[in-house]
Structure 1
Amino acid sequence: MHFKTEIIKHTNKIILFFLLSFFISSCSESYNLQTDTYEEAIVIEATLTNELKNQEIKITKTSRFEDEEVTVETGANVIVKDNLNNEYLFTEKSGKYVSESAFEVVSGRQYSLEIKTKDGKVYKSSSETLPTVSPITDITPSVVVNNKNETGIQMNANSYDANRTSNYYRYEYEETFKIVAPRWTSERAVVTGPKNIRIDDDNDPAKKICYSTQKSTDIIVTSTNNLTEDRVNFPVRFIKQDDYKIAQRYSILVRQYVENKAAYTFHKTMKEISSSTSVLSPKQPGVFSGNIRCISNVDEKVMGYFDVASVSSQRIFFNYTDFFPSTDKPAYISECEPMKLNFCFEANTTPPCDGYTIISGLQGGGLLYYFGSYVEAICGDCTKFSSNVIPSFWKE
C-alpha cells in the first residue's frame, strides 16, 4: 500500500488550476488542457506560530497536472524579521527551510518574511501580527450518519472565546492507527535451493503489529464571525465505520490555528478552488493573491501566504469496540485468503505445479507461508507497508 498524496503537491496543483483559469476564462467551448498552457510560479507556504520550535517554510514551484514530483526551490536566502530588529535565519533542510534557532511569535510584534532566490529574485511579505490565542478545549468523537448516508465516527473540535476576538480558524490533523497482520504465524518458509524450501518456526513477532501515521491534506477552515458567540464545535474528521484504520486502536492529533481574516479568506479561496469539479466551471477564482510580492519584478507571479497564527492541539485515542461493540471489525486492506499453491515443478499436471511461483514469491518478498498454504506478504507482515516502531505518544 502506498500513501502518495502530499499537501505540497495538492497545493501546487490548486495554484496551477488558478493560473490556467486566466487562459480559459473567456472560452465557451470545451478545452482539452495541455502542458503548453503551463506557467511557472513560485509557491510559498509559511505559517509561523506561538510554539517555541524551529519554524518551517516551504518554497516550491507550481506543478503540471501530469507531474509526479514537486520542484523544490533550492539555494534561497530566507529570513524573518520583526519590528524590534530581531532576525531569524532559515537554512535549507530536507526540502524545507528551517529556522536556525527555535523561536516563537509573540503578541504585539510585527513579523515579515523576506526571500531571495538563487536567481536574484526578491520576495517580501506584508507585516503580520499574532492573532488572539484561543486554545482548543477538546476533541469529541461520536457515531453519526453523514449526508451520504454513511455511518462512521465524526471528530469535532471544540473551543470558546468569550471575548469574540478569534473568529477565524484553520485545522490540520495527524492520525495514527494500529495495524494487526491477520495472517501472521510463527512459521516461515526459507528458500534453500532452486527447488527447495525449509519451514522454520522462528518468524519475527515484530512483523505482526504496526502503526501508520498520515497527515491531513485538505484545507479545513471555519469561521464564527456570523454566529452569536465565538464558540466552535466543528467536524474536523469523519471516518467510515468500515475503514480499516479504526479496526484496532486509533488516535488523532488535531491542531487548531487562529488566524486573521485575510489569511482565512486566502485559505478559504484555496479550498473552494480545489473543490471545483472543472476549470471550465462557471465559478472562476478571479484575482487570487496572498500577502507576498516580488519586489524585484512586479510582474512576477507569487502564490502563497505568510501566516502568523496562534496554535493549540489536542490528541484523543479510541478503540473500534468503544463505538461498535457488537459489530464485526472492518476488513483488512487485503482479503488475505490463503492461496492453495502446489509445491511441485512438473509440467502439464492437474492441478498445475506452482513451485517456481512459490520460490520467486518468497525470494521477492511477495508471498508468505501460512499453515501449508501461502498469502500475500502484507497479510502476514505489516512492515511491508507500515512501521512496527511504537510511537512515543502511543497509549493502549
Structure 2
Amino acid sequence: MRRSLVIARSIFCWCIATLLLPGCIDAYMPDVLSDPKGHLVVDGFINSRGVTTITLTRTYNIQAAAPPPAETQATVRIIDDTGRLYPLVESSKGIYRSGLLTLNLARSYRLRITTAAGQEYESASVLAKTTPVIDNVRGHTNSDGLTIVVNAHDDSNGTRYYRWDYEETWEIIPAFRPQVEYVKQERRFQPIAVPYPIICWGNQKAPDIHLSKTTTLAQDVVADYVLRSYPTTSDRLRYKYSILVKQYALTKEEYDYWTELRKNTEDIGTLFDPLPSQLTGNVRCLSDASELVFGYVGAHTEEAKRIFISRADLPNEWRTATGYEACFPPVLIGRDYASFFSGFLSYVPIYETPEGYISSSKECVDCRLRGSAVKPSFWP
C-alpha cells in the first residue's frame, strides 16, 4: 500500500427545515484535527514469498503548512509465533524493507516497531494467505473507449476476498524538438548542445482502492473486474501503454478494513454517501494503550501480471490526443529575439526562419516535465 491514510476529514451536516426553506451546512472538525501529536501510520503488508516493504509516517493537522517528516531510524521486525525474527532495514526515509523471505505458511506473523523515541508498536498475529495467480489482465474496446479488466479464481475456494493494486506507464513524445538554444549570458543563439529527450515515460500508481469478494458465489471466481477505463481520445493511448496489476488474497478482517478505508477516502461528497468513521486497524501501541495507531498489517503473497497495449492494437478510427494540443501553433519571434528570450525564460527557440525564430513554451519541448527520460527496464 503506497497511498497515505486519510485520517481526518470535514464532516458536513445538512439541516433541512422544510422543502420551502433553504438548507444550512455546518462544518464539523473532529478532535483529532486539532491534536498536535502525530499518530503513527503503518503502511504495508508482510510478504511471505518476497520482500516486505513497510512505510512509517505520522498523521498531521490538515491545516498545517506541511506534513511532518517520515518516521525514521525505527527498528522494524517481523516475528513469527515461535519468536523468530526477520529484520527490516530502512532503505530510504521512513521506508523499511526486508530481505527476500520464504515464510512458513503454517505459522502466524506480526510486525513489531520500536521508534527512535522508544515507543513500541505491534500488529496482531495473522496467518499468511497464499494469493492465487492472476488468470489474465485484458483490455476491452468499445465505442466509449478502453476498459482494463482482471480475471482470477481459486479452485480451492479459499481466497474469497481480493484486492488489486496497479501501476501505469505510457510513452510521451513532445510536440517539438529544438534545434537551437539561446545563451542568455552571451545573448546569442547557437546549435543546441544538449538536446531535449525525444521520448519520456509517464507513470502513475493506482489512486483508488480495488476490492472484490466472492462469498455469495458457489465458486471462487472473479470475472472481468474493472480496474481502469479510458476514452477513445486519451493521450495515454497515443503510442504505447502498459499496466502492471498486483493481486492480494485478504482475510475477511483485512477486507473489512480496506472497505472502510475506501468509504472514508472515496465514497464521500454527497448527501447519500456514508459518513466517515475513525479507522485504526490491527496495530496497537504497547507503550501507551490509549494512543491511536493507523494501519492494517496483513500477511500474504503477491501475484503480478503486466500487459502492453500499442496504438496498433486499438481501432483506427480513434482520435487519440497527443497531450500537446495547446502547443499549436508555435510562436514566431521576430529579429528582436534577444530581448524576448531574456525576459521570457519559459519560452525556448525551436528553429530559425528568415523571419525570426519559431518558439514554444518549455512544457511543449521538454517531456521530462511530464515524465522520466529514463527508459523503464521492462519496456520493450
What TM-score range do you get, normalising by the shorter chain?
Answer: 0.7 to 0.9
Task: State whether residues 88 and 99 of structure 1, in contact with CA within 8 Å, keep that contact through their aligned partners in structure 2.
Answer: no
Q: Could you say if the C-alpha distance between residues 114 and 25 of structure 1 is closer, same or farther in structure 2, counting changes exceeding 3 Å?
A: farther
Structure 1: gaps (5+ residues): 1-5, 146-150, 345-353
Which aligned pairs between 1:1-396 and structure 2 lie closer than 5 A?
Answer: 7-9=2-4, 11=5, 14-17=6-9, 30-31=26-27, 33=29, 37-39=33-35, 40-53=38-51, 55-67=52-64, 68-69=66-67, 71-144=69-142, 151-185=144-178, 187-191=179-183, 195-198=187-190, 200=191, 204=195, 207-233=197-223, 234-278=225-269, 283-286=274-277, 288-333=279-324, 335-337=326-328, 338-344=330-336, 355-361=338-344, 364=345, 366-370=347-351, 372-395=357-380
Q: CA deviation at 1:357?
A: 2.5
Q: Could you say if the C-alpha distance between residues 203 and 328 of structure 1 is closer, same or farther in structure 2, counting changes exceeding 3 Å?
A: farther
Task: State whether residues 136 and 256 of structure 1, in contact with CA within 8 Å, keep that contact through their aligned partners in structure 2.
Answer: yes
**How many aligned positions are there?**
363
RMSD (Å) for aligned C-alpha atoms? 2.9
In the alignment, the residues of structure 2 paired with residue 65 and residue 99 of structure 1 have an alpha-carbon distance, to the nearest angstrom, of: 29
Q: CA deviation at 1:229?
A: 1.6
Compare the two structures and name the one with the higher strand fraction: 2
SS in 2 for 1:271: helix
Q: CA deviation at 1:208?
A: 1.0
In the alignment, the residues of structure 1 paired with residue 273 and residue 327 of structure 2 have an alpha-carbon distance, to the nearest angstrom, of: 46
Q: Could you say if the C-alpha distance between residues 37 and 82 of structure 1 is closer, same or farther in structure 2, counting changes exceeding 3 Å?
A: closer
Q: CA deviation at 1:373?
A: 1.0
Task: State whether residues 343 and 358 of structure 1, in contact with CA within 8 Å, keep that contact through their aligned partners in structure 2.
Answer: no
In the alignment, the residues of structure 2 paired with residue 35 and residue 223 of structure 1 have an alpha-carbon distance, to the nearest angstrom, of: 34
Q: Could you say if the C-alpha distance between residues 282 and 259 of structure 1 is closer, same or farther in structure 2, counting changes exceeding 3 Å?
A: closer
Task: State whether residues 82 and 110 of structure 1, in contact with CA within 8 Å, keep that contact through their aligned partners in structure 2.
Answer: yes
In the alignment, the residues of structure 2 paired with residue 50 and residue 357 of structure 1 have an alpha-carbon distance, to the nearest angstrom, of: 60
Task: Give the 4+ runs in structure 1 shifted more than 6 A.
Answer: 24-28, 279-282
In the alignment, the residues of structure 1 paired with residue 111 and residue 270 of structure 2 have an alpha-carbon distance, to the nearest angstrom, of: 32
SS in 2 for 1:115: strand
In the alignment, the residues of structure 2 paired with residue 122 and residue 85 of structure 1 have an alpha-carbon distance, to the nearest angstrom, of: 17
Structure 2: gaps (5+ residues): 16-23
Task: State whether residues 14 and 26 of structure 2, in contact with CA within 8 Å, keep that contact through their aligned partners in structure 1.
Answer: no
Q: CA deviation at 1:222?
A: 1.2
Q: Which amino acid aligns with 1:58?
A: T
Task: State whether residues 81 and 87 of structure 1, in contact with CA within 8 Å, keep that contact through their aligned partners in structure 2.
Answer: yes
TM-score with structure 1 setting the length: 0.82
SS in 1 for 2:281: coil
TM-score with structure 2 setting the length: 0.85
Q: CA deviation at 1:247?
A: 1.1
